[in-house]
Amino acid sequence: MGANCTEIFGSMVFNDAVMKERLPGATYKALKLHIRENTSLTLEVAHVAANTMKDWAIEKGATHFTHWFQPMTGITAEKHDSFIAPAPDGKIIMEFSGKELIKGEPDASSFPSGGLRATFEARGYTAWDPTSYAFVKEGILCIPTVFYSYGGQVLDKKTPLLRSQEAINKHALRILRLCGDWDTQRVFTTIGPEQEYFLLDRTLYEQRKDLIYCGRTLFGAKPPKGQEMEDHYFGSIKSRVAAYMKDLDEELWKLGIYAKTQHNEVAPSQHELAPIFSMTNMACDHNQLAMEVMKKVALRHNLVCLLHEKPFAGVNGSGKHNNWSMGTDRGANLLEPGPAPEKNKQFLLFLFAVVKAVDVYQELLRLSVATAANDHRLGANEAPPAILSVFLGDELTGVMDAIRRGSDYEKKAAREMDGGVKILPHFLQDNTDRNRTSPFAFTGNKFEFRMLGSSLSIAGPNFILNTIVAEILDEFAGRLEKAADFEQASRDLLQETAAKHERIIFNGNNYAEEWVSEAQKRGLLNLKSTPEALPYFCSEKSIRLFGRHNILTEEEIRSRCDILLENYSKTIHIEALTMLEMLKKDILPAVVSYLNELTTVAWNKKKLELPASVYKTEEALILKLSHLYAGLTAQTDLLNEVTLGAAERSEAHEAAVYYKDKVLPVMQEARALADELEANTAEKYWPFPTYGKLLFSV
Ligand code: ADP
Ligand code: MG
């Protein structure tokens, strides 16, 4: 398609412009009021909206509609119903009622509920979330909804996110009022999620069971070339990839997704897509959609888009950088430092609230990104470590330091950058350098939370981030509202916060070995794995926090924790079974074939009564392969045994710990032996494409 961006952008979205144009004035107004003030919607309004939506969707080629929701599986769910209704003359009419728009009743018993919903009460509800636009995707009108159980318990990822927005709004407004701002009516969080991914050739992908079942390779010897030349990052984009990116952009634009930047990443075959930021709710829906579209468009190009956090050992994994800030209905960014941050009290209150929140609730942020797949990244020398810390950069760290000491901040003059060549533009050096190693970095006027894995729904980390910041804003506001002298009280508050939470600031290299011991000295948590992190979700502190802000009840938290632990165990279980299958059916038989060839050659040479030196090399290789083969056979039996042993662990946390301590190490050992065998086996015998082929074929 020769795309005209402005024409195709949002063409498949029932957005504000479409609503304004098509809905009767009164309906449009009622709907806007409903969205803005959370008033309840009458069935009449819903009915008119539904009818207009249906007519619009049919023009866009839709025949069905679905309530589109985000259950705890981490991906989106949809169940398609057609618009057709029988007409008396034996024909059909296209119908879509207000009731169908606002409420759905999916048989929800097959979605994870962590015991919240017994299968005998399988009824679940989806309810229209009018704050996110409906859209048409592949002939289906998709209506964004939230999902809850018959008993009213939250079963999805969206509801806590929406609730956490309310909490931020409420308490940020209190701070603004204290600072003399009576005009702002609404505060919301904004997110720009940078999405990393791998592109592989589909034909090669289909030859690997590990990629098909697990989304990552479970075996693979190191290729002669990896990412050591650093020649892929921002490298020129190959034409096959460029064609994919162009197609992808167009599909995303149609859905109203602001796809903006595309570039190559560090690892071969790795790329990144960055959207322009938007309000949290929309950013979350858009990121879920983007991940889905990325995969679908890839297939059209005979490619496969991998979103797994660690598809290849020894090569960088994929993350998702969650750029986060707080914005207002008046267009302000509350994390904008302005020209003199040291004097900008309002900015400092918001900034320090975030710093304190990260320090006080480190464990919650850590567990918000904990998955079996992300465990392969965090702490490896490529992604932020499992330790939370905040990067503020020189200037703001200087400001914080001065506040702590109660002294004036001495501003350093910004350095002029001129590149040493007259014709190049001159500009001032940014006041924060980049620190790519920090898990939580201030980058000019936003924070970049970098611990997220590439496939993760951003709903989880952001409802937690919003809630912990709301909690501290609430605390700050409570204290300042009581104070007789706001100026003095806020100075004291900032000073106290700087002194108490200085330990969470770290501007150095987070990948360095020394940081681990330094962080330990500072008393920072280092929760290395998912089973170590998740139990903190059910701590009294966490239950109190989420309860206070009406985000989740204790029952809902416990069920979520169980779901996440079970996900962890299931992921490793599937990986172990896949490994066993590949070992027994592919790898071990391949080695036998090669051994057979080698033995035949050696035997024939022997039969010719040639001197031993002539078949010595075959013998040595036969010996080496046979040893490795024996080792791998034993390891396969062991893996079988420990995988079966998992069935005895029925409690979710106990099972997860078992998989981490008993199954993963055996898998690692089996892989090491198999990789060594791969390196010593003729390629024609090896049963699936090597790392070299996978990484360098697109
Ligand atoms: P980089 O991190 O590569 O330097 P940018 O700083 O330009 O790139 O932006 C990275 C991401 O941050 C983009 O998705 C951008 O839209 C997003 N972003 C920029 N400003 C904000 C903001 N106020 N709130 C949330 N995200 C933002
Ligand atoms: Mg970035």
pLDDT digits (tens, 9 = 90+) for 449-488: 999 999 999 999 999 999 999 999 999 999 999 999 999 9
* 377 C-alpha to ligand 2 centroid (Å): 17
Atom of ligand 1 nearest to the CA of 335: 23
CATH class for domain 2-156?
alpha beta
CATH class of 164-418+436-552: alpha beta
State the span(s) of the chain assigned CATH 3.30.590.10.
164-418+436-552
Residue 510 near ligand 1, beta carbon < 6 Å: no
* Contact present, 200 and 269 (Cβ < 8 Å): yes
Mean of the per-residue pLDDT values for the chain?
A: 91
Q: Is 328 in the pocket of ligand 1 (CB under 6 A)?
A: no
Measure Cα distances from 462 to 324, 453, 466, 485, 683 in Å.
Answer: 9, 13, 6, 34, 46
User: Quick check: 48 pLDDT over 60?
Assistant: yes
Domain 568-696 architecture: Up-down Bundle (1.20)
Question: 18-45 pLDDT, tens per residue?
Answer: 999 999 999 999 998 888 777 778 889 9
Percentage of the chain exceeding pLDDT 90 = 73
pLDDT, position 421: 56
pLDDT-derived band at 433, boundaries 50, 70, 90: low
**Quick one: average pLDDT of 75-83?**
87
Output Rg (C-alpha) for the chain, integer angstroms: 28
DSSP string, 313-351: TTS---EEEEEEEEEETTS-BTT---S-GGG-HHHHHHH
* pLDDT range class, residue 582, cuts 50, 70, 90: very high
pLDDT of residue 664: 97
In this prediction, residues 124-134 reach a mean pLDDT of: 89
CA–centroid distance, residue 449 to ligand 2 (Å): 9
Ligand 1 and 382: CB distance under 6 A: no
Q: Which pLDDT score is estimated for 430?
A: 55
Mean local confidence (pLDDT), 158-163: 94
Beta strand 92-94 with 270-275 is unpaired
Q: Cα-flanking dihedrals φ and ψ of residue 14, to 5°?
A: -85, 75
Tokens of 151: 């008993």
pLDDT at 416: 57
> Helix, strand, or coil here: 691?
helix
Residue range(s) occupied by CATH 3.10.20.70 in the chain: 2-156
In this model, does residue 233 exceed pLDDT 90? no
Please say if the pLDDT value at position 133 is more than 90: yes
Mutate to test the pocket of ligand 1, among 187, 287, 323, 466 (most ligand atoms within 8 A of CB): 323
Q: Residue 47: which pLDDT band, with cuts at 50, 70 and 90?
A: very high
Classify residue 138 by burial, with Cβ atoms within 10 Å: 0-12, 13-18, 19+.
Answer: exposed
* Closest C-alpha residue for ligand 1 atom 23: 325
Average pLDDT over residues 127-148: 92
Q: How far is Cα 342 from Cα 354, in angstroms, rounded to an integer?
A: 16
Which ligand has the nearest atom to the CA of 273?
1
Give pTM, 2 decimals: 0.93
Q: Tell me, in angstroms, the distance from the centre of ligand 2 to residue 265's CA.
A: 12
Which residues, in sequence order, are CB contacts of 21 under 8 Å at separation 6+? none
For 327, the token pair is: 């914005």
Does ligand 1 have an atom closer than 6 angstroms to the CB of 190? yes
Q: Give mean pLDDT, residues 68-83.
A: 88
pLDDT band (50, 70, 90) for residue 224: confident
Residue 523 has pLDDT above 70, yes or no: yes
- Ligand 1 atom closest to the Cα of residue 324 is 25
Residue 268 in contact with ligand 1 by CB distance below 6 A: no
Section 421-437 average pLDDT: 59
Q: Is the predicted pLDDT of residue 418 greater than 70, yes or no?
A: no
Q: Is 325 in the pocket of ligand 1 (CB under 6 A)?
A: yes
- For residue 449, the ligand closest to its alpha carbon is 2
Handedness of CA 636, 566, 72, 103 (dihedral sign): positive
Mean pLDDT of 341-346: 95
Out of 83-92, 188-197, 318-327, 382-391, pick the least confident: 83-92
Angle (CA) 559-285-101 rounded to 5° is 85
pLDDT confidence bin for 667, thresholds 50/70/90 = very high
Q: Which two tokens stand for residue 310?
A: 């660690």
Given the CA of residue 194, which atom of ligand 1 is nearest to it?
14
Report which ligand 1 atom has the smallest distance to the Cα of 275. Answer: 14
Q: Nearest ligand to the C-alpha of residue 196? A: 2
Q: What is the pLDDT of residue 150?
A: 78
Q: Is the pLDDT of residue 2 over 60?
A: no
Closest by CA position to 490, among listed 408, 407, 403, 410: 403
**Start and end residues for every CATH 1.20.120.1560 domain found in the chain:** 568-696
Residue 1 pLDDT: 46
Which of the listed residues 188, 277, 328 should we mutate to test ligand 1's pocket, taking the one with most ligand atoms within 8 A of CB? 277
The reported pLDDT for the residue numbered 107 is 73
CA gap 477, 495 in Å, rounded? 16
Bridge partners for 66 per DSSP: 142
Q: Which atom of ligand 1 is nearest to the CA of 323?
A: 26
